[in-house]
């Protein structure tokens, strides 16, 4: 009932009201996170350190992003695994995923710490430090790096707190650290005259506060309990944690690549200009952090829209998908245009917040804001579209849109253009990348909406449930190409009992309000792990509906059920017989070639992909290994022929029922 009410809410409530409800907390959370990256630069800029101090913090910033990429990878992965355990109604292995995540985060942070100190000078120069800024960068880096285990553990643990159903506490831990940082920055920098070291001390004290609050929460969490056993490495569980967290890692590392290349080129060509190497590094660091505020607003808006888009797309309510996209697009455009006006008309006002009145510094800052952020509105629309595609189950389009602007276009442009245009070329690379990126985005968005099919709400829903008599429930799991569906149908005919395959999909569609095509594809998609992490994911609704339908089918009496992890769903049914059908690869390849009229190589690829996805799906649903002999009552190779295989299964059932 609760899920149905949520469905109704997401499918019928006014979209502007839903956006306000979901997006505002996302925006606030992201903006609070941004404060850590900005506050230090504001106070440092107003100190005697000036732009050189900001250049030093700009050099260290990408290094901290690498650290947080690992922390978020492990933390988001554990959070996702916790959500999966909650979805299965058991927290049996949740504590191990969290404990393993904390352990690996700590070990990684120590390795990061050691390597960071060993290669300190090389890293600082690599990320843009000059002979003028190296001493300041070294001081700031040394203190920040010394506390990197605290920083990484706080970020990693915070993700789990959100997944445990305490997003407000999660936000409070981050906000507390940011507020402490803001209060202590002027005290240490100006009051104690600690300079850039003071900014670093303020930062790590804020990070300590965040970690302490996270630890306090872990003492009394809602859905898991840590013990010493939680920290004993379980590589099967942690493998899934990594799978679930790797997308976050890739996203963060792309930021590092952009920052690294940009800093290197600005330092190189800045040294050849009147601005020198340090002014461009200082200015671009500030510019990127101001720019991140705008992007975080956009990301917060579209993340808030994710559950609305995901549910209505799954329910084939395309009018609401279009309306939601349109509203988010309009809001993103307004935010982008307002930002552009501010950046173009008042760049000095913004840069003055970060201190330093040196003429060349102000001149380059004005130039950077006006050129680098010239088409920030397009950047907003690109980022928004990338997350939109993610929400509607188009991960490939999402990746293309995301990487096109930042990696495919911007990185080569920022390397090539300065050769012909000097340091201005590095700045103009951004708007050109925006133009090229938006072209790709618009093409993909138009293509996506052209392919949408509208489904009438008045389409009659057929009754697929078939009455039967008391007896065995036969579930059939099968490898791709082993003809498991056809064999299951033969078994049903021989035993004169109902057969369920596509019928389950139709019934689950009726139950959940989602489209049959959407439900049908769930077992065959790599997105299942990621989708189940999202509380409001339509995938989650679909799987819950499938489980309910499978149990309802079993109540009708003896039958054959093919696929959908039915053997696990009905594990407590005393009349259950679990069958797994497999066959040699070449036999399956021939079957797939005949069925789909495809080549030998393509058939082999399809089999590998399908089996891998089915294994992932089964593991997500059950926590068990798909195809493992001990999980089934009968495992049989269908290479002896469909008819023969069906006969053996029937004989097995008859012999079993005689006992």
Burial class (CB in 10 A: 0-12, 13-18, 19+), 232: exposed
Give percent of the chain above pLDDT 70: 86
pLDDT for 202 beyond 80:
yes
SS (H, E, C) 127-174: CCCCCCCHHHHHHHHHHHHHCHHHHHHHHHHHHHHHHCCCHHHHHHHH
Per-residue pLDDT band for 637 (boundaries 50, 70, 90) equals very high
Q: Which of 5, 200, 230 is nearest to 99 (CA)?
A: 230
Of 275-284, 531-540, 608-617, the one with minimum mean pLDDT is 531-540
**What per-residue confidence (pLDDT) applies to 304?**
75
**What per-residue confidence (pLDDT) applies to 84?**
65
Task: In whole angstroms, give the CA distance from residue 205 to residue 473.
Answer: 61
**What per-residue confidence (pLDDT) applies to 636?**
94
**What per-residue confidence (pLDDT) applies to 485?**
92
**What per-residue confidence (pLDDT) applies to 633?**
92
Q: How many CB atoms lie within 10 A of CB 439?
A: 13
User: What is the average per-residue pLDDT within 482-488?
Assistant: 92
Of 31-35, 234-238, 286-290, 369-373, the one with minimum mean pLDDT is 31-35
C-beta of residue 31 within 8 angstroms of C-beta of residue 296: yes
Of 57-61, 432-436, 582-586, the one with minimum mean pLDDT is 57-61
**What per-residue confidence (pLDDT) applies to 237?**
83
Q: Which of 582, 588, 563 is nearest to 634 (CA)?
A: 582
Average pLDDT of the residues of the chain = 83
**What per-residue confidence (pLDDT) applies to 166?**
78
Query: What domains does the chain contain, in order, with CATH numbers?
Result: 1-36+273-459 (no CATH), 46-225+239-245 (no CATH), 473-658 (3.40.50.300)
**What per-residue confidence (pLDDT) applies to 210?**
93
- pLDDT tens digits along 69-122: 899 889 878 887 776 676 555 566 788 889 999 999 999 999 999 999 999 999
pLDDT for 318 beyond 90:
no
pLDDT for 515 beyond 50:
yes
**What per-residue confidence (pLDDT) applies to 242?**
84
- pLDDT tens digits along 579-599: 999 999 999 999 999 888 889
Which pTM was predicted? 0.66
pLDDT for 658 beyond 60:
yes
**What per-residue confidence (pLDDT) applies to 579?**
94
Beta strands in 496-575 (DSSP E): 499-500, 559-562
More confident residue, 60 or 518: 60
User: What is the average per-residue pLDDT within 143-147?
Assistant: 96
**What per-residue confidence (pLDDT) applies to 440?**
95
CA distances for 2 relative to 8, 86, 104, 173, 299, angstroms: 10, 15, 37, 30, 28
More confident residue, 35 or 593: 593
């Amino acid at each position: 009932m609760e899920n149905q009410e949520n469905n109704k809410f997401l499918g019928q409530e006014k979209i502007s009201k839903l956006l306000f409800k979901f997006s505002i907390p996302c925006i606030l959370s992201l903006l609070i996170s941004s404060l850590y990256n900005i506050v230090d630069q504001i106070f440092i800029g107003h100190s005697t350190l000036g732009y050189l101090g900001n250049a030093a913090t700009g050099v260290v910033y990408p290094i901290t992003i690498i650290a947080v990429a690992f922390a978020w990878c492990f933390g988001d992965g554990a959070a996702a695994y916790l959500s999966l355990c909650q979805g299965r109604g058991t927290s049996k292995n949740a504590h191990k995923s969290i404990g393993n995540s904390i352990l690996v985060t700590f070990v990684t942070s120590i390795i990061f710490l050691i390597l960071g100190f060993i290669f300190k000078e090389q890293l600082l120069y690599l990320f843009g430090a000059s002979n003028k800024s190296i001493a300041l960068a070294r001081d700031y880096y040394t203190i920040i790096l010394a506390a990197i285990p605290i920083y990484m553990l706080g970020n990693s643990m915070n993700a789990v707190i959100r997944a445990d159903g305490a997003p407000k506490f999660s936000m409070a831990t981050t906000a507390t650290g940011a507020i402490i940082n803001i209060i202590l920055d002027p005290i240490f920098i100006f009051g104690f005259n600690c300079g850039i070291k003071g900014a670093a001390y303020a930062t790590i004290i804020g990070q300590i506060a965040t970690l302490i609050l996270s630890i306090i929460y872990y003492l009394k969490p809602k859905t898991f309990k840590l013990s010493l056993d939680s920290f004993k490495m379980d590589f099967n569980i942690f493998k899934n944690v990594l799978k679930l967290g790797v997308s976050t890692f890739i996203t963060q590392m792309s930021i590092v690549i952009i920052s690294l290349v940009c800093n290197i080129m600005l330092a190189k060509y800045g040294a050849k200009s009147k601005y020198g190497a340090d002014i461009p590094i200082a200015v671009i660091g500030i510019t990127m952090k101001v720019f991140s505020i705008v992007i975080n607003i956009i990301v917060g808006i579209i993340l808030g829209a994710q559950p609305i888009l995901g549910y209505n797309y799954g329910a084939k309510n395309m009018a609401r998908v279009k309306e939601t996209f349109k509203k988010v697009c309009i809001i993103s455009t307004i935010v982008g245009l307002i930002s552009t006006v501010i950046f173009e008309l008042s760049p000095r006002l913004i840069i003055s917040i970060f201190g330093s009145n040196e003429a060349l510094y102000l001149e380059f800052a004005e130039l950077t804001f006006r050129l680098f952020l010239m088409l920030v509105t397009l950047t907003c629309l690109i980022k928004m579209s990338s997350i939109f595609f993610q929400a509607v189950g188009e991960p490939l389009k999402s990746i293309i849109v995301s990487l096109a602007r930042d990696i495919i276009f911007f990185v080569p442009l920022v390397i090539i253009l300065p050769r012909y245009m000097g340091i201005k070329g590095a700045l103009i690379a951004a708007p050109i990348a925006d133009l090229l990126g938006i072209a790709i985005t618009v093409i993909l968005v138009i293509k996506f909406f052209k392919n949408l099919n509208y489904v009438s709400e008045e389409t009659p829903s057929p009754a697929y449930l078939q009455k039967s008599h008391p007896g065995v429930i036969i579930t059939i799991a099968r490898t791709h190409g082993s003809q498991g569906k056809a064999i299951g149908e033969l078994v049903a005919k021989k035993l004169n009992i109902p057969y369920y395959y596509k019928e389950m999909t139709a019934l689950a569609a009726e139950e959940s309000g989602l489209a049959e095509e959407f439900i049908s594809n769930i077992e065959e998609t790599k997105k299942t792990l990621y989708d189940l992490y999202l509380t409001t994911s339509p995938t989650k609704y679909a799987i819950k509906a499938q489980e309910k339908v499978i149990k309802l089918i079993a109540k009708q009496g003896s039958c054959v059920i093919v696929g959908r992890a039915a053997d696990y769903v009905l594990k407590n049914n005393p009349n259950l017989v679990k069958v797994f059908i497999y066959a040699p690869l070449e036999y399956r390849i021939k079957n797939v070639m005949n069925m789909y009229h495809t080549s030998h190589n393509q058939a082999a690829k399809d089999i590998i992909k399908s089996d891998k996805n089915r294994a992932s799906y089964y593991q997500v649903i059950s926590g068990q290994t798909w195809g493992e002999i001990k999980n089934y009552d009968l495992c049989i190779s269908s290479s002896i022929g469909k008819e023969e295989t069906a006969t053996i299964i029937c004989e097995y059932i008859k012999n079993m029922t005689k006992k």
